Structure 1
Amino acid sequence: MSLDHQFDKKHLWHPYTSMSEPLPCYGVESAEQCLLTLESGEKLIDGMSSWWACLFGYNVPELNAAAKNQIDKMAHVMFGGLTHQPAIELGKKLVSMTPKHLEKVFLCDSGSVAVEVSLKMALQYWHAKGTPKSQFLTIRNGYHGDTFGAMSVTDPEGAMHDLYHRFLPEQIFAPQPSICFHEQWNSDSLLEITELVINNKSNIAAIILEPIVQGAGGMYFYHPEYLKGVRALCDEYDLLLIADEIATGFGRTGKLFACEHADINPDIICVGKSLTGGYMSLAATLTTEHIARTISDGKAGVFMHGPTFMGNPLACAVANASLDKLMNMNWQQSVKQIEQWLQQYLSPCHTLSTVKSVRVLGAIGVVQLNEAVDVAVVQKKFVELGVWIRPFGKLVYVMPPYIITEAQLKQLCDAIYQVVTPS
Structure 2
Amino acid sequence: MNKSDLYFDLKHIWHPYSSMNNPIPCYPIISAKGVYLKLNNGKTIIDGMSSWWSAIHGYNNPRLNKSLKNQIKNMSHVMFGGITHPAAILLCRKLIEITPKKLECIFLCDSGSVAIEVAMKMSLQYWQALGEKRCTFLTIRNGYHGDTFFAMSVSDPTNSIHSLYNYLLPSHLFANAPKCNFGEVWDEKDIYSFSKLIEKNRKNIAAVIMEPIVQGAGGMKFYHPKYLKKVRYLCNYYKIPLIIDEIATGFGRTGKLFAYKHADIVPDILCIGKALTGGMISLSATITTKKIAHIISNSKANCFMHGPTFMGNPLACAVASENIAILQEKKWKNQVLKIESILKINLLPLQKHPKVLDVRVLGAIGVVECFYKINIKKIQFFFIQNGVWIRPFNKLIYLIPPYIIDSLSLKQLIDTISKALDNDQFFIY
Same structural fold, with TM-score higher than 0.5 when normalized by the shorter chain: yes
The answer for the alignment partner of 1:229 in structure 2 is 230
Match in the other structure for 1:2: 2
How far did residue 420 of structure 1 move?
Answer: 1.2
Q: How does 1:161-172 map to 2 (within 5 A)?
A: 161-172=162-173
Secondary structure at 1:103's aligned position in 2? strand
In structure 2, give the amino acid aligned to 1:42: K
Shift of 1:29: 1.1
Other-structure match for 1:312: 313
Partner of 2:32: 31
Q: Residue 245 of structure 2 aligns with which residue?
A: 244
Tell me the residue number matched to 2:299. Answer: 298
Alignment of structure 1 residues 5-404 onto 2, 5 Å: 5-404=6-405
Structure 2 unaligned spans of 5+ = 425-429
State the alpha-carbon separation in 2 of the partners of residues 340 and 98 from structure 1.
Answer: 27
Percent identity, aligned pairs only? 56
**TM superposition shift of 1:421:** 2.2
State the Cα distance separating 1:422 from its structure 2 match: 4.8
State the alpha-carbon separation in 1 of the partners of residues 182 and 150 from structure 2.
28
SS of the counterpart of 1:9?
Answer: helix
- Write out the 4+ residue segments of structure 1 that deviate beyond 6 Å after TM superposition: none
Taking the aligned partners of 2:348 and 2:174, their CA distance within structure 1 comes to 34
Distance in 1 (CA, whole Å) between partners of 2:152 and 2:112 is: 12
Distance 2:421 2:103 in 1: 43
Retained in 1: the 8 A contact 2:30–2:40?
yes
CA drift of 1:347 comes to 2.5
Contact 1:348 1:417 in 2 (8 A): no
Which amino acid letter does the alignment assign opposite residue 353 of structure 1?
P
1:25-84: CA deviations, max 9, x gaps? Answer: 000011000000000111100000000100111001001101111111000000000000
CA deviations 1:147-185 (Å, max 9, x no partner) are 000000001114211111111111110111110001100
Mapped to 1, the partners of 2:118 and 2:21 lie a distance apart of: 35
Aligned-residue RMSD, C-alpha: 0.8
Do the aligned residues in 2 keep the contact of 1:127 with 1:133 (CA within 8 Å)? yes
Contact 1:354 1:422 survives alignment (8 Å): no
Measured in 1, the distance between the counterparts of 2:133 and 2:394 equals 39
In 1, Cα distance between equivalents of 2:204 and 2:332: 41
Q: Secondary structure at the match of 1:266?
A: coil
Distance in 2 between residues matched to 1:215 and 1:159, nearest whole Å: 11
**In 2, are the aligned partners of 1:282 and 1:315 still within 8 Å (CA)?**
yes
Q: Report if the CA contact (8 A) 2:142-2:155 is conserved.
A: yes
Per-residue displacement from partner, 1:223-246 (whole Å, max 9, x unpaired)? 000000000000111111000000
Question: Residue deviations 1:176-216, cap 9 Å, x none?
Answer: 11100011001110111000011111110000010000011
